[in-house]
């Protein structure tokens, strides 16, 4: 399967060759290395709050900084399009260690306001000072909805995306900042995000993770199987597992959309490219920076270089036997959980009528 079977988490090189290869750019790594070294500190705090406090620990920031596709793309967007940044006021939403703020400062920004809610803001201040940018970067500790800026900003930069694009994301926070602080005709980095769906063969892994519960040392534990089916799996999918085309579910224009646009129902049609079995659907996303001199961005798809977002696997209750040219059709409904808007509820309705089987089913998933 090409996967580490113990690598589940709660929830690259681009598929689209219109994107520049972020790894091939000959840009310096001094700031990334400096930040990674400075953030590698022990922290004896515990997570009182699941989301914000989780970003107080250096480990999650180390993982993101070492995601070369992610970090190099932002670096290249800013350095290779410095004409967009020079002399401008920038707001970094969810600044973390301050790496994006440092990129902007080095590219000639007039001033950067780095807003970070977690305790990592304290580390970000030290990092900014250690790198000599205290006169350009102001680190503000707090929620974007509660802080005040002295001026409007020309650019908002943020790495807001979560697993499945929308799980535990900061999109609503970015949209709030856009509406309150961005000047008219200002720029949001990135400004486009697209969610895709494809289908895979995954017999071995499904047997190991799902069917396992049917018979555990001679005992029926299938009640856990039902729970396992409801929870999407975040993992790396081997491109050789892909059976169908990829279907674009949703494209979001971050410069224009409203918070409600992140909840949607979208149709899909997945056409088999070979004879095989289908055990799961897989979701992934692309982001793009369309205001650049040349289109830049990255994909988190299974045909792209791995990122820390990996892909999101939704197992089907049915094993579908499909022949080349046959299609699974359906709709996917994505909505914020009412109790916790950072969680995602997914409803999948699909049908298939092929040479070897006929299926029609509705399944619900919860990303928690």
Query: Cα 75 vs. chain centroid, distance in angstroms?
Result: 17
Which of 168, 184, 207, 211 is catalytic? The answer is 168
Closest-CA residue to 307 (of 236, 241, 249): 236
CA-to-CA distance for 252 and 255, rounded, in angstroms? 9
Which of 116, 159, 201, 326 is catalytic? The answer is 159
Question: Any catalytic annotation for residue 273?
Answer: no
Q: DSSP string spanning 197-248?
A: EEEE--HHHHHHHTGGGG-BTTB--HHHHHHHHHS-EEEPPPGGGB-B--EE
Helices then strands, each counted (H, E), the chain: 8, 15
- How is residue 188 written in tokens? 């949001």
The full length of the chain comes to 368
Question: Any catalytic annotation for residue 168?
Answer: yes
Q: Which residues are paired to 162 by β-bridges? A: 165
Helices (H), the chain: 30-38, 58-65, 68-79, 99-106, 120-130, 171-181, 203-209, 222-230
Which residues belong to the active site? 159, 168
């Amino acid at each position: 399967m090409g996967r580490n079977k113990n690598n589940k988490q709660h929830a690259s090189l681009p598929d689209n060759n219109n994107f520049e290869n972020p790894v091939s750019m000959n840009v310096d790594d001094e700031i990334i290395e400096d930040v990674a070294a400075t953030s590698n500190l022990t922290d004896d705090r515990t997570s009182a709050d699941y989301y914000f406090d989780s970003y107080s620990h250096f480990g999650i920031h180390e993982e993101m900084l070492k995601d070369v596709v992610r970090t190099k793309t932002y670096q290249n967007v800013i350095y290779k399009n410095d004409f967009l940044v020079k002399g401008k006021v920038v707001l970094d939403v969810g600044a973390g260690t301050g790496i994006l703020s440092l990129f902007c400062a080095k590219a000639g920004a007039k001033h950067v306001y780095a807003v970070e809610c977690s305790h990592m803001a304290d580390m970000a201040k030290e990092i900014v000072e250690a790198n000599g940018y205290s006169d350009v970067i102001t680190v503000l500790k707090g929620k974007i909805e509660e802080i005040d800026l002295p001026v409007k900003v020309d650019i908002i930069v943020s790495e807001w995306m979560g697993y499945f694009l929308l799980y535990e994301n900061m999109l609503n926070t970015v949209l709030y900042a856009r509406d309150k602080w961005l000047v008219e005709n200002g720029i949001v980095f990135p400004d486009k995000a697209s969610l895709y769906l494809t289908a895979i063969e995954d017999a071995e892994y499904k047997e190991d993770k799902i069917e396992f519960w049917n018979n555990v040392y001679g005992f029926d534990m299938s009640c856990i199987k039902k729970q396992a089916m409801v929870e999407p799996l975040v993992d790396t999918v081997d491109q050789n597992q892909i059976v169908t085309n990829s279907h674009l579910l949703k494209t979001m224009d971050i410069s224009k959309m409203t918070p409600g646009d992140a909840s949607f129902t979208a149709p899909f049609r997945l056409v088999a490219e070979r004879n095989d079995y289908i055990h799961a659907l897989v979701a992934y996303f692309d982001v793009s920076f369309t205001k650049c001199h040349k289109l830049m961005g990255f994909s988190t798809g299974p045909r792209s270089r791995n990122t820390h977002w990996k892909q999101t696997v939704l197992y089907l209750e049915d094993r579908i036997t499909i022949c080349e040219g046959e299609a699974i059709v359906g709709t996917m409904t994505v909505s914020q959980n009412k109790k916790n808007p950072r969680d995602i509820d997914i409803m999948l309705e699909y049908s298939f009528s092929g040479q070897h089987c006929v299926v029609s089913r509705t399944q619900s998933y919860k990303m928690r």
